[in-house]
A and B are shown apart, each in its own frame.
Chain A
Amino acid sequence: KNEVEQSPQNLTAQEGEFITINCSYSVGISALHWLQQHPGGGIVSLFMLSSGKKKHGRLIATINIQEKHSSLHITASHPRDSAVYICAVRSYPGTYKYIFGTGTRLKVLA
């Protein structure tokens, strides 16, 4: 079993839909990172959080430390949101190691 599990693996949505991607982890962490990987392969950091909730534009990330679970929400989805979304955790205690999920491939249809 992977230490970081994402669901779903693949997701197709219609433009305008509300989207949720889930991440569960089984290790102690100091922070959780949501990343977006575009078709060309480059990766962009979306959020890094260790508690609570963060919002940036149409993106919202939440984390529940007790349940070892995080969600990434996209409101009013758009075709340009089509990408692979990756959850990564920074393991704790103190290493500089990140453990990555396998990603959720999102396709938003116009």
Chain B
Amino acid sequence: DGGITQSPKYLFRKEGQNVTLSCEQNLNHDAMYWYRQDPGQGLRLIYYSQIVNDFQKGDIAEGYSVSREKKESFPLTVTSAQKNPTAFYLCASRPLMQAGPIQPQHFGDGTRLSIL
């Protein structure tokens, strides 16, 4: 079945350490997104990418970095510059079509990151 796979499901980070969250999709979607979810808040966009080797900052990109070397993969690195990284991270993807109805985003199951 096609879908989005995020790994790991739970991740622990020590202070000052960079960690990378994996997001892989086999839906052949062009656009991919990273969101952060905190209790009591809506999802907030960290980064998004519409095509390979191109990505754009979202609303809360500081302390994060991404790459898009392959269409199916969009890893997110949480750097030591991110002072409050504990959160639930969701990856999403969506096809980009020139005509027809807008397609919804598909989401992964998320990665919960905690600081030790």
Binding site for B on A (CB under 8 A): 2, 4, 30-31, 33, 35, 40-45, 48, 50, 86, 88, 90, 96-103
Contact = CB atoms under 8 A, between A and B. Distances in A.
Contacts of B43: 86, 88, 98, 100
Contacts, number: 57
Nearest to B6: A42
B107 A35 contact: yes
Contacts of A4: 42
B90 A50 contact: no
B94 to A, nearest CB: 8
Interface of B: 31, 33, 35, 40-45, 48, 50, 58, 88, 90, 92, 101-110, 112
B42 A44 contact: no
A43 B102 contact: no
10 contacts: A4-B42, A30-B102, A31-B102, A41-B112, A45-B105, A48-B101, A50-B101, A98-B45, A98-B105, A100-B43
A86 B48 contact: no
Given A50-B102, A96-B50, A41 B88 contact: yes
A72 B43 CA distance: 19
